[in-house]
């Protein structure tokens, strides 16, 4: 079996231990053995980054642009192969896998442009004959920690701005899906990224992740993952005075008002709730439906949900791939059991035994639920949606906002008045009108409020806030 090592400097280095990367659509398909690093691997990566930092920090914008642009072009040229690997290791459909790969390519190309667009401020002093310049400088060595559900897009949207603004990187991808990160590392290495500017260390969160967040030479940590891990990372980084950025869970509401066009609302809710097997932090897990349209909406949703084709991610006909692993599947099935005790009715949600030996689950709708139930408070992270009936728009907004999370919030309505009011009142970082709560552009800020996010926004021009630090220089010209 092919062994995949860590990238330290410009070299692929083995630290002895490996773990199999298993295809959740068919557990007999082992994608490869991926290195399981330890403290030593993190120390080696940080040393390589330290050695590379002075030259990369001072590299011209053109040099940084050229590396990122070449990486973007290479990912795009290899989108079918990388997208297939992504679907094999994570279980999202081939169309979603290729789509995510293209998004990663676009992110690199966007930040190639941003490398050329760095600017500062020239400000007047309150004192005579003094000029003030406000400029941005790289933060230093940045540790990036990513989850399994977007194995190429999330590493890309952290690596690209980190490098564009002159930082060196140590990436620790999720141990369930290291394959795409390993491919990106190879592409960076081949596209002229100088040795040590980008380093890959794979392995367990409790070992490699922990070593990264507590390493004294790492200046900043950008993390995407669960609330519990994020909380721990924030506490550690706070204690060690590291800059930190967290993107965590969601319990995203999608409001459907009486005047919604069902031909828009139902596809938006099907996509937001079930696509990518519900394994998106922006998934619509609470469908908040006004009383007048409730029964028609439930009928249409049930019909559309039952028509979804669950199967092997690599099969062209599949719309919903498997759950990522046995642990996540068991957790989803436990929530279906909880829903049986809480909701008036549970439609679907059962484990599916298909021809391929994978972690398949039928999509589930929980009908007749209240917002205070566990199924509506806790993130399930599976193909499950709850329906909460409300009397009117005001109650819909109150229920939508009554959550510990605040990532994305959606509304389906034909009323400009209600759409406008919802955009202003939703306590979320992103608002969607007549669109799924999931599915965002790559060139604008991404992130949320409350328990969903902490620190500066990711993506688009806003990424500069996290990956740079500001310097104010005063000059007296005499």
Q: Catalytic residues, which ones?
A: 247, 281
**DSSP β-ladder status, 384-390 and 364-367:** parallel
Q: Which of 6, 87, 189, 229 binds ligand NAD (CB under 6 A)?
A: 229
Pair of tokens at residue 105: 């390519």
Distance, in Å, from the CA atom of 453 to the CA atom of 249, rounded to the nearest integer, reads: 8
Minimum distance of ligand NAD from residue 360's CB (angstroms): 19
**N-terminal to C-terminal alpha carbon distance within the chain:** 70
Q: Is 147 in the site for ligand NAD (CB under 6 A)?
A: yes
Q: Which of 226, 231, 401, 434 binds ligand NAD (CB under 6 A)?
A: 226
> What's the burial of 127, exposed, middle or buried (CB within 10 Å: 0-12/13-18/19+)?
exposed
Q: Which of 166, 205, 272, 385 binds ligand NAD (CB under 6 A)?
A: 205
Q: Is 146 in the site for ligand NAD (CB under 6 A)?
A: yes
Q: Is 379 in the site for ligand NAD (CB under 6 A)?
A: yes
Minimum distance of ligand NAD from residue 474's CB (angstroms): 39
Q: What DSSP string describes 303-369?
A: HHHHT--B--TTSTT-SB---SSHHHHHHHHHHHHHHHHHSSEEEE--EE--SS-S-EE--EEEES-
Q: Is 319 in the site for ligand NAD (CB under 6 A)?
A: no
Residue (172 or 243) nearer to ligand NAD, CB: 172
Q: Is 206 in the site for ligand NAD (CB under 6 A)?
A: yes
Q: Give the interface segment with ligand NAD, choosing from 40-48, 71-79, 169-177, 460-468 (CB under 6 A).
A: 169-177
Distance, in Å, from the CA atom of 389 to the CA atom of 100, rounded to the nearest integer, reads: 34
Q: What are phi and psi of 475, to 5 degrees?
A: -130, 125
Pair of tokens at residue 308: 């979804």
Give the sheet arrangement for strand 243-247, strand by strand.
11-13, 6-8, 198-200, 168-172, 141-145, 220-224, 243-247, 453-454
Contact yes or no for 431/409 (Cβ under 8 A) = yes
Distance, in Å, from the CA atom of 330 to the CA atom of 463, rounded to the nearest integer, reads: 36
Minimum distance of ligand NAD from residue 97's CB (angstroms): 16
Q: Which of 175, 258, 356, 465 binds ligand NAD (CB under 6 A)?
A: 175
For ligand NAD, the binding residues in 242-301 under the rule CB under 6 A are: 247-250, 281
Q: Which of 75, 85, 169, 174 binds ligand NAD (CB under 6 A)?
A: 174
Q: Is 330 in the site for ligand NAD (CB under 6 A)?
A: no
Q: Is 26 in the site for ligand NAD (CB under 6 A)?
A: no
Residue (331 or 401) nearer to ligand NAD, CB: 331
Distance, in Å, from the CA atom of 55 to the CA atom of 166, rounded to the nearest integer, reads: 9
Residue 395: name the closest of 302, 294, 265 by CA.
294
Minimum distance of ligand NAD from residue 145's CB (angstroms): 5
Q: Which of 57, 78, 84, 232 binds ligand NAD (CB under 6 A)?
A: 232
Residue 218's contacts (CB-CB under 8 Å, 6 or more residues apart) are 46, 140, 141, 142, 143, 170, 212, 242
Q: Give the interface segment with ligand NAD, choosing from 78-86, 142-150, 307-315, 393-401 (CB under 6 A).
A: 142-150
Minimum distance of ligand NAD from residue 155's CB (angstroms): 10
Contact yes or no for 155/144 (Cβ under 8 A) = yes
Q: Is 231 in the site for ligand NAD (CB under 6 A)?
A: no
Minimum distance of ligand NAD from residue 448's CB (angstroms): 7
Minimum distance of ligand NAD from residue 381's CB (angstroms): 5
Q: Which of 149, 277, 284, 386 binds ligand NAD (CB under 6 A)?
A: 149
Residues that bind ligand NAD in the complex, under the rule CB under 6 A: 145-150, 172, 174-175, 205-206, 209-210, 213, 224-226, 229, 232-233, 247-250, 281, 379, 381, 407, 452
């Amino acid at each position: 079996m092919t062994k995949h090592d860590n990238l330290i400097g410009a070299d692929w280095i083995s630290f002895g231990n490996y773990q199999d990367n298993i295809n959740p659509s068919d557990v007999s398909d082992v994608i490869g053995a991926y290195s399981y690093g330890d403290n030593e691997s993190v120390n080696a990566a940080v040393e390589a980054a330290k050695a590379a930092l002075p030259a990369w920090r001072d590299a011209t914008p053109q040099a940084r642009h050229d590396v990122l642009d070449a990486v973007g072009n290479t990912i795009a040229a290899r989108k079918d192969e990388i997208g297939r690997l992504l679907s094999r290791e994570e279980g999202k459909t081939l169309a979603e896998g290729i789509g995510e790969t293209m998004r990663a390519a676009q992110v690199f190309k966007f930040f190639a442009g941003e490398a050329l667009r760095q600017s500062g401020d020239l400000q007047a002093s309150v004192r005579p004959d003094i000029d003030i310049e406000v400029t941005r400088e790289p933060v230093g060595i940045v540790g990036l920690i990513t989850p399994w559900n977007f194995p190429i897009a999330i590493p890309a949207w952290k690596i690209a701005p980190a490098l564009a603004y002159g930082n060196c990187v140590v990436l620790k991808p999720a141990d369930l899906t290291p394959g795409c990160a390993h491919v990106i590392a190879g592409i960076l290495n081949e596209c002229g990224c100088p040795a040590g500017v980008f380093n890959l260390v794979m392995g367990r969160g409790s070992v490699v992740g922990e070593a990264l967040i507590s390493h004294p030479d790492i200046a900043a940590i950008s993390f995407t993952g669960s609330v519990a891990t994020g909380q721990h990372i924030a506490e550690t980084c706070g204690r060690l005075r590291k800059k930190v950025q967290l993107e965590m869970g969601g319990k995203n509401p999608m409001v459907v008002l009486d005047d919604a066009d069902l031909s828009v609302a139902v596809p938006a809710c099907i996509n937001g709730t079930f696509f990518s097997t519900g394994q998106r932090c922006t998934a619509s897990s609470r469908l908040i439906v006004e009383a007048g349209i409730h029964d028609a909406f439930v009928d249409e949703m049930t019909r559309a949900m039952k028509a979804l084709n669950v199967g092997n991610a690599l099969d062209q006909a599949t719309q919903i791939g498997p759950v990522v692993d046995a642990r996540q599947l068991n957790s989803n099935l436990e929530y279906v059991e909880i829903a049986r005790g809480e909701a008036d009715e549970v439609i679907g949600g059962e484990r599916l035994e298909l021809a391929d030996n994978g972690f398949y689950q039928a999509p589930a709708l929980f009908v007749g639920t209240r917002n205070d139930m566990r199924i509506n408070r806790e993130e399930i992270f599976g193909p499950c949606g709850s329906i909460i009936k409300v009397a009117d728009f005001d109650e819909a907004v109150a229920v939508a906002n009554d959550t510990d999370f605040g990532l994305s919030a959606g509304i389906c309505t034909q009323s400009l008045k209600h759409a406008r009011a919802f955009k202003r009142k939703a306590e979320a970082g992103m608002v969607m009108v007549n669109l799924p709560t999931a599915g965002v552009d790559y060139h604008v800020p991404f992130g949320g409020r409350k328990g969903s996010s902490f620190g500066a926004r990711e993506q688009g021009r806003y990424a500069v806030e996290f990956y740079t630090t500001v310097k104010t220089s005063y000059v007296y010209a005499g």
